[in-house]
Structures are given as structure tokens and as C-alpha cells.
Amino acid sequence: MKSARLLLTAFLFLAGLSGLPAEELRSTQADQTGVAVTIYNQDLALVKDRRQLTLTRGEVPLAYRDVSARIRPETALLRSLSHPGSVRVLEQNFDFDLLSPQKLLEKYVGRRVRVARINPATGLEQIEQATVLSTNQGVVLRYVDRIENSVAGRLIFDEVPANLRDRPTLVTLLQSSRGGSQEVELSYLTGGLAWKADYVAELNADDTALDLAGWVTLTNQSGSRYENARLQLVAGDLNRVQPERKAQALMEMSRGAAVDSAAPMAEEGLFEYHLYTLARPTTIADNQTKQVALLNAASVPVSKQLLLQGNDYYYRSSYGEIGQKLKVAVFIELVNDEKSHMGMPLPKGIVRVYKQDRSGNAQFVGEDQIDHTPKNEAVRMKLGDAFDVTASKVQIDYQKRGASGRYSQAHESAYRIELKNAKSEAVTVTVREPVPGDWKMLEASAPHQRVAAGTAEWQLEVPAEGSRVLEYRVLVRW
């Protein structure tokens, strides 16, 4: 028995000296001990894939299967976690030519295949050998006595070529300083993974408060599945170098959406961004849209504003009638602070707002896109235009004045704005006029505020089923 072991050891030693290539070590997701996925806003993710492998000492060809099909190979880093420094990568290749009938046929150009056909006279299967000459816009086969440009039968292949993989695979040549079991980690950047924030809000009866739920919507089109992954999301606008590259075809996204409604995510600062971490592992399947709860806040105080927004063009010339039945926009605003039962930095996303009707059914009343919002900042959303509140505007006077001093032009003009309210309760409308140049309000039927260098603003209460008229005269110089 001892002599047999010595002979086996000697054989393996001589095989190593002979320069015979070592057999490829294949690793699949079955070897995985953990995976962490950090997803950014810009179709970018960082994947950290840990696996338990048994390595031999010396050079080891390792096929790391089931990586993302959208991996950026230049960002890949393989290291040993259990024995740091014991593994060194000599070279690596990303095999993205995946097995399919067409790809298999293409790899057999210049090689022989067998063609199996049914003889119509006897009903027996006949097999011939042929050489694949071309697969460009069809198949061209050379038989012993002829050439055919179609396949009347089924093709039989002897093997799958080594450079044709059934799954996206990162093939590396390792130099291992020790043999035995090791836990290694492959980290890399990939496309095909993206996330966005979506918010759902429900207003109370008198529009003074709302309940807000935040969701993270994940989309996985990376060509890989991430089982029980530790999920983290980065909110912020990272600077990225955009290389020249060919457009990659997108995989078809599944119609279904998985919903994960567990506890909201934990948040922390990261550099000049914000990091959100799911408290427990989650599975991100390929070609799937998944939703994870981000936040829940009840009875968040809001204020509603009806806004008539003007323009600056009609202060420079004579216009007469400016508009009839002008739209009055509807905004709501909240403050993202702890006093308002919030205070978590909000990633940018769409807020969809609902309100219950008299029967208790929630009805959609509008949506708006919000940007990344730090804590203690206001969130302002336009939900639409008021149906029952309208306005008309007319220029009732215009005079071109003589310029003086450092001014080259001077214009004096007067305006009449009528606000109408068809509702059964009074409303307050904000009238905001962007006045250009150096301006002075000469007279007005209601007090105004200079809220900015080029903006005059009025707060006007319009009675129920009534109207309110604002008239003002302004001198503009520039």
C-alpha cells in the first residue's frame, strides 16, 4: 500500500515536470458562502462574491462561473480572505460567448459534424458526416460528394468547445502559495443593476397632512442571480468616466415585480453621498423588478399652495390681453425633519399622491419628481392645475418712458388680474410675477412682497363662488 502511494506521488510529480496543463477548477454558485451587492443610481453595482474553494499549490486555472453577464472585467479583484496574500492572479479572461444553437454552430466552422436524416422511403435514420463551411446568413455544409446550403435534419456535435460557456464565466490563472481549502472573494463592478426610489402618499381630508411610504425599486438585467445577498444602495451623483463602447443589447425584463415589505432600510453618510442598507439578506433574481421598503411616515404636516405664475416678456412691450382661463397650479410642501415624523435623507424619485373620496376609495390626485433631499430640507411637489380656480390677465396700460442716468430703456405698464373661485369655500392664491430689470411698483390694489430681486408676489384670498381683482402699475428700467 505504501509503495502504491509512492508510485502515485512520483507520477504526479513527473506530470508536473512534463508541463501538462492542470485541469480547470470550476466554481459555481453552489460554492458561494455569501454575496454583497451595492447598487448605485447610474446603472452600476459593486458585487462581492465569496466562495469556498479547494486549491492546489502552484498554478491553478479557475473558472469562476455565474458572474454577471455585464461585468466590467477590468475592475475584477480576486483575493483570499482566509489566507491573505496566498493567491495571486496571473491573468484573467471573461468568457461571455454563451452556449446557444447558433453559437455552437459558429464554433464548428471548419470542423466536422454529423447530420441525421430520416429516409422517406424506408423511415430509417441515416447519418452523414459534413464539414461546416459557413454560418453567415444560413448554413453551408460540405459533404463527401456535394455542398448544401441548408440543413435537412438534425446536427450532432461531438463536444462543446472549451471557449463556449453555458454561463457567464471569469476564467483566471492563479498562483497559489498553499494548497487546501480557502475562502476567496471576487469583487467587480457591473452594469445591468439599477435602483430608484418611489414614494406613495395619501392626503388627509383637509389637505393638511399625509401618510408617506417610500419604496426602493430594483431592476436586475445583469444576467445573474444574487441569492440571499446583503443589499446596500448608494444615493448621490457619482462622477464616472464614460468610455467609448458598443451599445449592449438589453435583456427582456420580466413583467412581474417581487415585493419585499419588511422593515425600512437603515441610512448612513458615505463620503458626500448616502448609503442605505437592508437589515436582512434578500434574493435578487435575474430579469426581475423587486421592491423593498425604504421608509414609512404617518401624519406628516403639509401645506397646500395655489400658484398663478406669470412671465417677464409682457413687461417689455404692449400686449393687451395676455390670457383667459389661465391655469392655477396646485403645490403641496412638507419639511423633511424629525418634527414632521421624517428626517431621513430622501433619494430622488417620483412621489405619487392619493386622496380618499367620500366613499373612502383612494383616488390618484397627481405626482411629481423630487431630487435628492437632505434632512431638514423642504420637499415641494406640483400635483397639477386647479379645476375650479382660474385667472384672466390683461395689460391695461403701456407707456415707453424716456431713459435717464445709466438706463437705456424705461417702460411703465399696468395690469389687471381677475381670479375666479367656483369652489364652495374660500381659497388663497399666490400671484407671482417675474419682473425684469430694475423695477419699482408704482401702485397696487393689494400689498406685495419683493420675494427676490426680480419677483413680486401677492397673497390674495378669493371668496367662495366669487372673484378677486388685482391691479398694479410698475416701472421697469434697464
Domain check: are 115 and 255 in the same one? no
Our measurement of the distance from residue 366's CA atom to the centroid of its chain's CA atoms, rounded to an integer in Å, reads: 22
Q: What is the pLDDT of residue 382?
A: 97
For the stretch 31-49, pLDDT in tens is 999 999 999 977 899 999 9
Tell me whether residue 398 is in a domain. Answer: yes
The reply to whether 382 and 443 lie within a common domain is yes
DSSP-assigned beta bridge partners for residue 449: 457
Residue 467 covered by a domain: yes
**Into how many domains does the chain fold?**
4
Which residues, other chains included, contact 347 with Cβ-Cβ below 8 Å and sequence gap of 6+? 41, 196, 197, 216, 233, 235, 274, 276, 294, 372
Q: pLDDT value at position 127?
A: 92
For 179-201, the pLDDT digits (tens) are 999 999 999 999 999 999 999 99
Specify whether 406 is located in the same domain as 323. Answer: yes
Specify whether 357 is located in the same domain as 389.
no
| 324 and 220 in a common domain | no
In this predicted structure, what is the pLDDT of residue 264?
60
- Is residue 196 assigned to a domain? yes
Do 148 and 260 fall into the same domain?
no
> CB 264: neighbour CB atoms within 10 A?
18
Between 96-100, 189-193, 327-331, 342-346, the lowest mean confidence (pLDDT) is in: 96-100
Question: Does residue 241 register a pLDDT over 70?
Answer: no
Determine the structural domain holding residue 206 and report its residue range.
192-239+248-301+346-376
Q: Does residue 233 share a domain with residue 252?
A: yes
Residues 401 and 326 in one domain: yes
Question: What was the pLDDT predicted at 122?
Answer: 86
Where is mean pLDDT largest: 250-254, 340-344, 463-467? 463-467
* pLDDT (mean) for 397-412: 85
Burial of 332 (0-12, 13-18, 19+ CB in 10 A): buried
CB of 268 within 8 A of CB of 277?
Answer: yes
| Across 270-279, 307-316, 466-475, least confident range | 270-279
Claim to verify: residue 182 and residue 71 sit in the same structural domain = yes
Residue 257 is predicted with a pLDDT of 42
Residues in the chain, overall count: 478
Q: Is 471 helix (H, G, I), strand (E, B) or coil?
A: strand
> For the chain, how big is the Rg over CA atoms in Å?
35
Percentage of the chain lying above the pLDDT 90 cut: 69
